[in-house]
A = this chain, B = another copy of it.
Amino acid sequence: MSTTVKIGLIGFGRIGKIHFNNIQQRIPEGEIIIVSDPVADFSGISVAVGSVDDVISHPDVEAVILCSPTDTHADYVEKAALSGKHIFCEKPLDLSLERIIRTLELVDETGVKLMLGFNRRFDANFLKIKNLVNNGDIGEPQLVKVTSRDPGPPPLSYLKESGGMFLDMTIHDFDMARYIMGKEVKQVYASAAVFWGEEIKAAEDIDTAVITLKFEDDSMAVIDNSRKAVYGYDQRLEVFGSKGMVNVDNNKPDNHFFYNEKGVHSALPLHFFLERYTESYLSEMREFISALQNDKPVSVGGEDALKATLIALAAKKSVQENRPVTIEEIKESLGISI
């Protein structure tokens, strides 16, 4: 690995631009040297622009970052792996579990590193919780509670390609539950509803859910989701254990409290993920580039993508059949034994 890791970026939308700016401006150990996007405007960008193949086959490129649409992820991961490039891929890896498994097997064979973009693991609040849990301050964790609400649903076009709320939105929370607890999920029960209209129903999707996870040792997680919180982006987490409890509140743009005759007023949470997770996007990318430079394992690997997807599929089935669904059952139905 060279002193500065040479990177190719595929996909220059909202997330792609975050990674681009972080690397070019704030991570001197990395450098994006070529970018690909069929529709983006590259004016003002001083790096090479090319096709996906140009990026993946570029002789100086040591790693690729995939921020293209979900349905291209698996293809590009495979191409990049076969070209010997390390990969950072936005979640989800794919909507199909079989495809995820096949892709991970191939990645495994090639020996390249693959990191998944579960950026929330790098948020200062959740890291603090993780550290308290790891240090034993909470004792044995018995319950993790995740509140995750978006300020508004994405457009119908996005919804149709998204794989549904569980695979698109809750997958972050499934990953967080596993990460914080450090245990595997054995069973899922999800209760869901549509409160925000015809478009979501038309897409056969849901916008509201409460999901209960059971871990191998009977400890639990409960996640509540909404696609629309009128007050903004709501991202809170709590862990309850045998020796204590820890929770984190939302981040706010400032700490003011304004008192007048009507009450005490304070700021709403940071509006959405770009604001809330600004620093965690930076941290995850620093960790990816550092793992490459020091030839160490990445902290969020293919197995994490796989496990979160299994939980999401179980949740989907749980809603469809209104019953708890085991992870084992999902594996068996797909003939998987991992």
Contacts and interface: CB of A to CB of B under 8 A. Distances in A.
Interface of A: 25-26, 124-125, 127-129, 132, 137, 139-140, 142-143, 145, 149, 189, 191, 193-195, 208, 210, 212, 214, 218-220, 222, 224, 226, 229-231, 234, 240, 242-251, 253-268, 322-324
A261 B230 contact: yes
Nearest to A326: B322
Contacts of A257: 246-249
A317 to B, nearest CB: 14
B261 A264 contact: no
A260 B245 CA distance: 7
Given A142-B208, A324-B323, A263 B261 contact: no
A326 B229 CA distance: 29
15 contacts: A125-B256, A142-B195, A143-B226, A189-B189, A230-B244, A230-B260, A230-B261, A231-B245, A243-B261, A245-B258, A245-B260, A246-B257, A247-B256, A249-B255, A249-B257
B231 A260 contact: yes
Given A248-B254, A254-B248, A324-B323, A140 B224 contact: no
Contact of A244 (B127, B210, B259): B259
A285 to B, nearest CB: 15
B268 A265 contact: no
A242 B222 CA distance: 21
Nearest to A255: B249
A246 B259 contact: yes
Q: By CB atoms of chain B within 10 A, which of A140, A214, A220, A240 has the most?
A: A240
Contacts of A127: 254
A124 B254 contact: yes
A127 B265 CA distance: 16
A224 B145 contact: yes
B137 A260 contact: yes
B254 A208 contact: no
Contact of A240 (B214, B229, B242, B323): B229
Contact of A222 (B142, B210, B256): B210
Contacts of A234: 245
A179 to B, nearest CB: 16
Contacts of A264: 231, 265-268
Given A137-B260, A231-B260, A260-B244, A193 B220 contact: yes
Given A124-B253, A189-B189, A248-B257, 7 more contacts: A127-B254, A128-B254, A189-B324, A210-B212, A210-B222, A262-B265, A263-B267
Nearest to A132: B258
B247 A231 contact: no
B214 A191 contact: yes
